[in-house]
Amino acid sequence: MRFSQFPFRFTPVRKSISVKRASLNKTALRLLLAGVLTSAGNLSADGLEVSHYREGRLLTCVPVIDGEFELSFIHSVSLTPVTDYYRLIKSPGGDLAIKQTAEIFVAHGQGLPSLVNEPDATSFERRNGQFILEMDRKIGRLIVRTDERFKNRLHTGNSTINLNQWPDSGLLIAPVSNCQQ
């Protein structure tokens, strides 16, 4: 028996199946895209709220995707670069806190802190011309006194926030679990 003798044709059936499959794929894609866009509108991440300390006015919220961030500045006495390293810590109840994990500096000068016996220090070494103070220090309130001469910067992942973009003052940097952008 030849194909021409069948009462129906195979090609239209295949095309019909292909059209139905394509239609289902388009519908699934639309639903998936709608879900992604809906979720994107409600994205929130652990982050840091930066606010004017005295006024309490929120200036920005910076997502901290990997849970780590840094503050860099020029030391006001020694005029040398300093970088402080921090990590966001989540309590069993879900609250966020800040823990300082290290400080790297060239020299603070005689009589200034950052010695091996500094509170919460876990190690202190000199490497490649820099001092590295590792620590495990919980920070209750992180208040940063900014001054444009000292190039205060907040680094999170690939972002750098110039903390001197606001008038010289005290800034409160607080962890939040719903940093929305």
| This prediction's pTM | 0.72
Residue 99 pLDDT: 97
Q: Which of 120, 139, 118, 117 shows the shortest CA–CA distance to 71? A: 139
Per-residue model confidence (pLDDT) at position 156: 95
Tens of pLDDT, residue by residue over 63-79, are: 998 999 999 999 888 88
The pLDDT assigned to 114 comes to 52
Q: What is the pLDDT of residue 112?
A: 52
* Sequential DSSP letters for 106-156: S---TT-S--TTSTTEEEEEEETTEEEEEEEEEES-EEEE--GGG--EEEE
**Rounded distance between C-alpha atoms, residue 75 and residue 13, angstroms:** 77
Query: What pLDDT is recorded for position 136?
Result: 95
DSSP class of residue 44? -
At 8 the three-state DSSP class reads: coil
List per-residue pLDDT tens for the chain, 181 residues long.
444 444 444 444 555 555 555 555 665 555 554 444 334 444 568 999 999 999 999 999 999 989 999 999 998 888 899 999 999 999 999 899 999 999 999 875 565 555 667 888 899 888 888 899 999 999 988 999 999 999 999 999 889 999 999 988 899 999 999 887 6
Those residues with Cβ within 8 angstroms of residue 156's Cβ, 6 or more apart along the chain or in another chain: 47, 48, 62, 63, 64, 65, 68, 69, 70
The tokens describing 26, both together, are 């388009």
